[in-house]
């Protein structure tokens, strides 16, 4: 039986799959924050996330005997990982801009900043 997020499913692997997914999301979040802390750009986040998607495909292949080369599942993995990595990047970049240039910018939301009046 084919699933949307996983190749196959049974009760034995659910806890391990959950741990792998959480590990992937946390790694993507930290990747976005690390690029922002190094003052890197969003293109760097995307490149690192594409590589992280390959790693996640390998984990699914090695642990769950899923297909390693599967464009469908790779795209799903990358889209979900990009959501977390870009969120980590934008939140950290907003904090950087507001803290380092406090006389110029103030926080507009968790993901953006604006010029002070």
**pLDDT tens profile 53-67:** 999 999 989 888 888
19 occurs within a structural domain: yes
Domain tally, the chain: 1
**Hey, what are 22's tokens?**
């959480």
Is 4 within a domain?
Answer: no
Q: Which domain holds residue 35?
A: 13-90
- Four-point Cα dihedral 91, 93, 84, 48, nearest 10: -170
In a domain, 41, yes or no: yes
Q: Specify if 95 maps to a domain.
A: no
Contacts of 37-46 with CB under 8 Å at 24 or more apart are 37/92, 37/96, 39/96, 42/86, 42/89, 45/85, 45/86, 45/89, 46/82
In the structure, what pLDDT confidence band is assigned to residue 6 with cuts at 50, 70 and 90? low
What is the chain's mean pLDDT, rounded? Answer: 88
> Would you say how long the chain is, in residues?
117
pTM: 0.83
User: What band does 1 get if pLDDT is binned at 50, 70 and 90?
Assistant: very low
């Amino acid at each position: 039986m084919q699933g949307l997020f996983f190749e196959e499913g049974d009760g034995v692997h659910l806890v391990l799959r959950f741990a792998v997914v959480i590990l992937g999301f946390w790694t993507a979040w930290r990747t976005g924050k690390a690029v922002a802390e190094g003052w890197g750009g969003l293109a760097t986040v995307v490149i690192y996330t594409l590589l992280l998607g390959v790693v996640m495909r390998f984990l699914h292949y090695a642990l769950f005997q899923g297909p390693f080369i599967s464009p469908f599942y790779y795209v799903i993995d990358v889209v979900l990982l990009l959501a977390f990595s870009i969120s980590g990047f934008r939140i950290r970049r907003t904090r950087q801009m507001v803290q380092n240039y406090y006389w110029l910018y103030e926080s507009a939301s968790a993901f953006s900043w604006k010029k002070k009046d």
